[in-house]
């Protein structure tokens, strides 16, 4: 299969939905997501909005990822660790690499790396 770069909202939707199929099946990550997210269709649309705003910089994302992740950490008795972020990031890179190649694909990986570091730090700050 010839891979192309991420170019459209439909490409982002494919990336996000494919990625979360993997996350939901993952024995370590799955419980964090499956126990909290009740409407997966809405969640995938919301994350597609987030990544569209992040990658294409043409729309503004209205959600609060920090608040959402801090809540998941609280619900799970402050048990999120760097291991979880590493697993998440590895699955993201794997999915991007399976589906796409090019500048936007590389940017999706770079932004995910920065975002995971930021969220990891902020989750621990929120515990204080």
pLDDT tens digits, one per residue of 48-64: 999 999 999 877 778 78
Give me the phi and psi of 100, to 5 degrees please: -140, 160
pLDDT tens digits, one per residue of 13-37: 999 999 999 999 999 999 988 888 9
User: In sequence order, what DSSP letters do the residues of 3-16 get, joined into one string?
Assistant: -B---SHHHHHHHH
pLDDT at residue 1 greater than cutoff 80 = no
Q: Which CATH superfamily is domain 9-127 in?
A: Globins (1.10.490.10)
Q: Which two three-digit tokens encode residue 53?
A: 């705003």
Cα four-point dihedral sign 45, 46, 48, 52: positive
The number of C-alpha atoms within 13 Å of 60 and in the hemisphere containing its C-beta is 1
| b/e code 32-45 from CB counts within 10 Å (16+ = b) | bbeeebeeeeebbe
Is residue 48 classed as helix, strand or coil in its secondary structure?
helix
pLDDT mean over 91-104: 98
């Amino acid at each position: 299969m010839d891979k192309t770069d991420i170019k459209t909202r439909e490409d982002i939707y494919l990336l996000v939905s494919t990625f979360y199929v993997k996350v939901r099946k993952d024995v370590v990550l799955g419980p964090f997501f499956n126990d909290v997210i009740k409407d997966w269709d809405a969640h995938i649309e919301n994350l597609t909005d987030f990544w569209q705003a992040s990658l294409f910089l043409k729309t503004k994302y209205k959600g609060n990822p920090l608040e959402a992740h801090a809540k998941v950490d609280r619900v799970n008795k402050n048990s999120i660790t760097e291991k979880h972020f590493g697993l998440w990031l590895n699955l993201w890179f794997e999915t991007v690499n399976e589906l796409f190649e090019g500048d936007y694909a590389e940017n999706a990986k770079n932004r995910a790396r920065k975002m995971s570091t930021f969220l990891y730090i902020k989750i621990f700050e929120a515990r204080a």
